Structure 1
Amino acid sequence: MSGRVLVVDDSKVIRQLIRVNLELEGFEVVTAADGAECLEIVERVRPDVITLDVAMPRLDGLRTAERLRADERTRGIPLAIVSACTRSELRSEQVRAAAVDAFVAKPFEPVELVRTVRRLAAGGRGDGGTCGTEPAVRQPG
C-alpha cells in the first residue's frame, strides 16, 4: 500500500480517472465532489495526500486548501492542485494563502500525476509538480 489519497474534483470523470491511475499504483483512493465535502470527510478519511481541483462549486480548491492549512489537525497533509488553471492564472496571494505543495496541469499525464502523489506521500514537499513551466511553491507555516 502506497498510502491513502483524497481526490477532490467536481467532475465525476476526472475523479474516476485519477482514482484508477492511483489505485493501479497501490494507493487507496477516497473521493469528494467539492471542497465542502472534502472538509466534511477529511478527519474520518485521514489521507496521506489530497488532490484538489481549483474550480468547484460550493468551495473551490484554493479556499479549501486555505482552510485545511488553518486547521492544526489537517495543516500537515500534503496538497496538490490538479487543475486546468495555470499558475500564472492564479493570483499570487491565493497561491501563498493556500500553501499548496504541488501543481499538476490538466490535461495531465497519468505518470506525472502518480509521480507527484507518490513524492508527496513519501514526504517530498514543495519542490515540483507541473503547471506550465513554473515549479510549485510551498510557503512555510
Structure 2
Amino acid sequence: MEFPDSPCTVLIVDDDPFGIIQLQILLKDSGYELITASDGASAIEIVSRQQPDIILLDIIMPNMDGYETCQRLKENEGPEGIPIIFLSGLHSTEEKINAFEAGGVDYITKPFSEKEVLIRLRTHLTLHRVNKRLVHELENRDEELQNKESKVQDANTALKVLLSAIEEEKKELAERVQFKAEKLILPKVRELSEERDAEKQEALLLEIEHVFQKLTKPFVPGGIELGKALSPTELQIVNLIKQGKSSKEISEICNISVSTIASHRKTIRKKLNITNRKVNLYNYLSSMD
C-alpha cells in the first residue's frame, strides 16, 4: 500500500488521557501530525477551524458519545468528507453496526494492536486521497462539460441564425427568379408556341436557353451542363464554395462531416476535369460566371 507523500494530520478524540498518550507516541514515531480532543464538542469545534485528514474517535465519552459526535461531524462535511475510525473497548457486533451507521469507515477494538492501527490508518488515508482526487476530477470534468455545452449552445444559436439567413436569401432569390421567368421567359414561350417559321423557332429556343442559363446561374454555377454533371449535393457544395465558405462552414450548413466535404470536393474537381492540384476550386468556379 502506498503511503501519502505529505504529512497527514490525525485528530484523536478520547476522554482517557492514557489512551491519547499511547496513540500520540505511536503516531508521532510514524510521522503523523496530531491534534487531540477530550470530548465530542471540542472535536466538532476543532474540525470547524482546522480539518484533519482522519479522525480516531472513542465511543464512551461524557455529554456526547462517539456516535453522536460522528453524526454531527458528518452533517457539516463537504463531498470529500473526513474518514472516521472508531477506536473503542466495546466489542459487540451491535456496537460496530451502530458505528458504521453513524458514518464511520472502520472500527478498531481496544486493546489495539499498534501494527493494526497503523495499517488501517494508512489504508483509509490512501483511499481518502484517491476519493478526493476523483471528486476534484469530476468537478473539473463537470466544468469542462458545462463549458462545452455552452459552446455547443452558442454554435447552435449561430447555426440557426445562419440557416435562417440562408432561407431568407433563398426565398428572396427564388422570388427574383420567378419574377424574371414570368417577365423574360413566359412571353418567349408563348411567342414560340405561335411561331410557325422554323428559323425563328430555333432563334427563340436559343434565346430562351440563354435567359434560362442566366436565371439558373445562382443555383447552378457553370450553367445547365454543369448542373447535369453534378449531383444535387455537389451542386449545393459548389454554390457554397462560390460564396467563399470554408469546408468547416459547408460541413455545418449541409450537416455533413468535414471529411465527406473533402471527398465531394475531390469528386467535383474530377468532374470539372481539374487535374492541376494547384488550381484553386473557388477561383476556378468564380471564373465560370
Aligned-partner SS, 1:122: helix
Deviations 1:50-85 (A, max 9, x none): 010000012111111111111134971000000011
1:71 paired residue among 59, 76, 79:
76
After superposition, the Cα gap between the structure-2 partners of 1:114 and 1:123, relative to the gap in structure 1 and judged at 3 Å, is: same
Aligned partners of 1:7 and 1:109: how far apart in 2?
16
Aligned residue type for 1:10: D
Aligned partners of 1:7 and 1:118: how far apart in 2?
15
Aligned residue type for 1:121: L
Which protein is richer in helix relative to its size? 2
Q: What are structure 1's unaligned runs of at least 5 residues?
A: 126-141
Partner in structure 1 of residue 110 of structure 2: 106
The structure with the largest alpha-carbon Rg is 2
Aligned partners of 2:117 and 2:43: how far apart in 1?
19
RMSD: 2.1
Aligned partners of 1:63 and 1:10: how far apart in 2?
15
* 1:119 counterpart = 2:123: yes
Identity of aligned residues (%): 34
Aligned partners of 2:31 and 2:79: how far apart in 1?
23
User: How far is 1:43 from its partner?
Assistant: 2.3
Which protein is richer in strand relative to its size? 1
Deviations 1:107-130 (A, max 9, x none): 0011111111111111259xxxxx
Q: What are structure 2's unaligned runs of at least 5 residues?
A: 1-5, 130-289
Aligned partners of 1:20 and 1:74: how far apart in 2?
32
Normalising by structure 2, report the TM-score: 0.40
* Structure number with higher relative contact order (C-alpha < 8 Å, ≥ 6 residues apart): 1
Partner in structure 1 of residue 43 of structure 2: 38
Aligned partners of 1:105 and 1:67: how far apart in 2?
22
Aligned partners of 2:31 and 2:99: how far apart in 1?
30
How many residues align structurally?
124
1:90 paired residue among 80, 92, 95:
95
Aligned residue type for 1:43: S
Partner in structure 2 of residue 23 of structure 1: 28
Question: Runs of 4+ in structure 1 displaced over 4 angstroms?
Answer: none
After superposition, the Cα gap between the structure-2 partners of 1:97 and 1:116, relative to the gap in structure 1 and judged at 3 Å, is: same
